[in-house]
Structure 1
Amino acid sequence: MFNIKVLRQFFEKKASKIDKRLRLVISVLILGLLMLISTFFNFDKATFFLPIFITATYFLSYFSLLEGIKKIGWFGLFLMPELITLFFYLFYFLFPGRWLTRLPFIFIYEVSIYAVLLCSNIFNVGVEKNLQLYRAAFSINFFYQALVSFLFYNVLFSFKYNFFINIIGAGISAFLLSLQLFWSIRLNRHLDKEVLVYSLFTALLMLETSLVISFIPLRTAVYALFLTATYYSVTGVIHHHIDEKLFKETIREYVSVWIFVMIITLLSLSW
């Protein structure tokens, strides 16, 4: 009888003989090659490539990390590589299909997926929070969450769907991203109730924000910028609160970013 556990143990035994850095490089190169191949096809082939990217990214992320993945880690460690790959792929179709855009795009994607996999590896090995390595990984992960948000909102609003699709997309994406972000603060094996509650709050707030701006005439990039700034500011304040490092200066910093983007948004109105 086919036994997944036995197969997994066999795979881990064989793959663990390969140096982890080499496994990571192999994964990045394979994903980069897949992304390059996909850029030669039109958007109507997305239904073919999306399942391939989902499966390949999850498997290659597992191949890169391999050891010590427990419980909620199967979600928290794999979410960002998946989203980076999917939204980079979808975002590419907003550009003209030329080598002048294709090569820089692939390079940026490979750098991004490499950075995200490194962050997942640091989270996975259980580096203590007081170490500089963990803090660097958390900051990079947060940066790429903002980038993923911007890419996603660009793609979402470029399709010109009705407001219902916009708010559902914004809510689900905010919930998943914030859940991963807040989990990475303490890296517990189980999902804390506090993390879940704050993730639901973030999703609700982003859903309502998306609902409001869906009725305001803005360019797609401005929609994406405003929603990204909102997500960044809200989750920034919340993650400092969860980490018990929330000060007035911190709140002022995130609010200032949001106000600055709000001003840009208002100046971009085209009634």
Structure 2
Amino acid sequence: MSTGGRWQDQGANTEPDRHRWPHGRYCDAVAAEIARFAALASDVDPSTPVPSCPDWTVADLLEHTGAVHRWVTEMVGRLAAQRLLRADLDLGLPDEPAGLAAWLGAGAGPLVATLRAGDPDAPMWAWGADRHVRFWSRRMLHETTVHRVDGELAAGTDPTVDAAVAVDGIDELLENLACAAYFRPDVRELRGDGERLALRATDTGDAWSIVLDADGYRWDHSVGDATVEVVAPAGALLLLLYRRRDPGDDRFRRRGDDALLDRWLERSAL
């Protein structure tokens, strides 16, 4: 499925990707995140609302995440050249919501085994910029991490994200966000007149510069003057970009034009 027009070329990093992990490391991390998510979900009532996903319960969250895992397992296993429809797959959903946490956990083995068996350089369909098997090991780590955070918020616990995961997750989001325009049209409105949003991680020293131009956005890891700057630990910055943290949270130090930050968050929401 096409992402449409020249927006396929937007969002590119102007320097080499310094944070990307080897494929096998992503596979290891995916397995760990799914296990963590399934364990916490087993202690939460499936009918509990998920505050970070309006209109969802924990049951909805588990069903969505487990379905994505099984969908990706099938696509990577087939090296699908086109997007498969989840509706066409037998997901093996449990009869009762109480079984969803175990069902989520049971999907980890086939997913990780399929990812590990795949050649990371093999071409296949992906909605993002990197249309190879390696896209999916990386995407599944960050997809699962963010939804594990949703589960922890529903459980009333304060979520954390490992700094290295968060740094790569910010890169991964910025690399692929423009390609999401076909299912999140507001992404096309991430344009401007050279305004610059800067992010700086206090715990790792990493930085990101996002510039809004007339044709879209571009980004790199440079440091300099910004229209608005946000400073926080890497994990908090990742959750801010995914709108799992409020920009008014005490974890963030902001300087400059908050309206630009609000505009970015509103139009980049996945």
Provide TM-score, normalisation by structure 1: 0.33
Q: Which has the larger radius of gyration?
A: 1
Q: When you count helix as a share of all residues, which structure comes out higher? A: 1
Bigger RCO of structures 1 and 2 (CA < 8 A, at least 6 apart): 2
Q: When you count strand as a share of all residues, which structure comes out higher? A: 2
Provide TM-score, normalisation by structure 2: 0.34
